[in-house]
Amino acid sequence: MHDIRLIRDDPAAFDAALARRGHAAVSGEVLKLDEARRAKILAAETAQAAQNAASKEVGAAKAKGDEAEFERLRALVADKKAEVARLQEAAKADDAALRDLLLTLPNSPLPEVPDGNDEEDNVEIHRWGTPPTFDFDPVEHYQLPAVQGGMDFETAAKLSGARFVVLQGAVARVHRALSQFMLDLHTSEHGLLETIAPVLVREDAMYGTNQLPKFAEDSYQTTNGWWLIPTSEVTLTNIVREEILDEAALPLRLTAHSQCFRSEAGSAGKDTAGMLRQHQFEKVEMVSITTPETSRAEHGRMTECAQAVLERLGLPYRTVILCTGDMGFGAQKTHDIEVWLPGQNTYREISSVSLCGDFQARRMNARYRAQGGKPDFVHTLNGSGLAVGRCLIAVLENGQEADGSVTLPEALHPWLGGKARITAEGNLV
């Protein structure tokens, strides 16, 4: 959420920042609500002062025996009390309207974010590895003989419908190994604190990390009001909700492996084949809570943590900085990491690492205090480290062999009991 003081100080700059994201000028509407709210608050304070003054005079008039003055002042006190209540209620309504409006406005992009309309305008900033060459036509993950028996979409459709999958045998084992490998790397070498948190959250947690109100249709809500998390960014970030942290405790670096749930309402018809885009999937998430001065450096660090997973697995990738038109609602700046998928002959996104500044912190009222200083809002960052299912896809497709088997990355062998391949028959050997 935006700082209303910054909008008051320079409404033109605020509109210009949102215009980079294709958003219409809105500062006039914001300031109109803000001014109306402040005017009512001032009027309520003035009426309260008049009520207090009259209340003091009531006793004096009674003591003097001035019945007419006593009744006049008593009536004045009652009128002012009613006026104060009316003005306070009106100011409360204006405050809610202002908050509702601010909650719908995306974050302002940082100056270094490239302007653009969509993914075609993203800018590549890093590339690692060379896409493998094959002496046969590579296929997509779900077409591999090695995974035919272990990746069951028909049974999943019978159980749950489209965009679900049942994994079994060697494929399920590799999927589990990938999540364990990622967690161990992040905790032992990258200094992240492993966390297990609920996947059901209250509505205010979803507001805190800007899934609500804008993306309600992309999430699932239970009948008793809980929301299923679309990513553990929600739970990890909201851990500091309504807290004032000691600056010495920052940066706070967390990681979690969790189930994630997305209705994918905004992606109808996209990636319907295979398990690239599912309603239920697993992800290893990274979240950092920092001071404003260190958040840009932390963004680079988190990007490197995500890239390290792919490098250890020997999977070619490229990193792009998203343009203003492709960036997520709550982000100031985002790096997308795209892994090479031979079956599609292209790079596909496997991680988004976003710097949100104080945008989420204002929604959550999450602050920190330097020694002897006043509380200030923290900066929040989040990123996939990585999407487990998409990493499984990349491992399978990049390791495919002509006979239908899959050679698995050496770095993964310790988490597979030393096993190195999935045979064409689906056995882990």
Tokens of 247: 């600056």
The residue annotated as part of the active site, out of 219, 232, 352, 354, is 352
Give the integer Cα–Cα distance in Å for 298 and 287.
10
- Active-site annotation holds for 288: no
d(CA 116, CA 288): 27
Neighbouring CB atoms inside 10 A of 133's CB total 7
List, as one string, the DSSP characters of 137-204.
----GGG-GGGTTTEEHHHHHHHT-SS--EE-HHHHHHHHHHHHHHHHHHHHTS-PEE----SEE-HH
352 has catalytic annotation = yes
Which is catalytic among the residues 20, 173, 301, 390? Answer: 390
Catalytic residue among 69, 264, 349, 401: 349
C-alpha distance from residue 378 to each of 23, 210, 245, 296, 345 (Å): 26, 16, 9, 13, 41
Sequence-distant (≥ 6) Cβ neighbours of residue 249 within 8 angstroms: 368
**Residue among 86, 127, 277, 312 flagged as catalytic:** 277
- What b/e readout covers 258-293, taking b as 16+ CB neighbours within 10 angstroms? bebbbbbeeeeeeeeebbbbbbbbbbbbbbbbbbee
Task: Look up 262 and say whether it is catalytic.
Answer: yes
Nearest to 384 by CA among 296, 250, 239, 282: 282
Residue type, 216: A
**Measured distance CA(285)–CA(298) in Å, rounded:** 15
Q: Closest by alpha carbon to 320, among 304, 297, 334, 336?
A: 336
Which of 262, 301, 363, 367 does the annotation list as catalytic?
Answer: 262
> What are the catalytic residues?
262, 277, 349, 352, 390
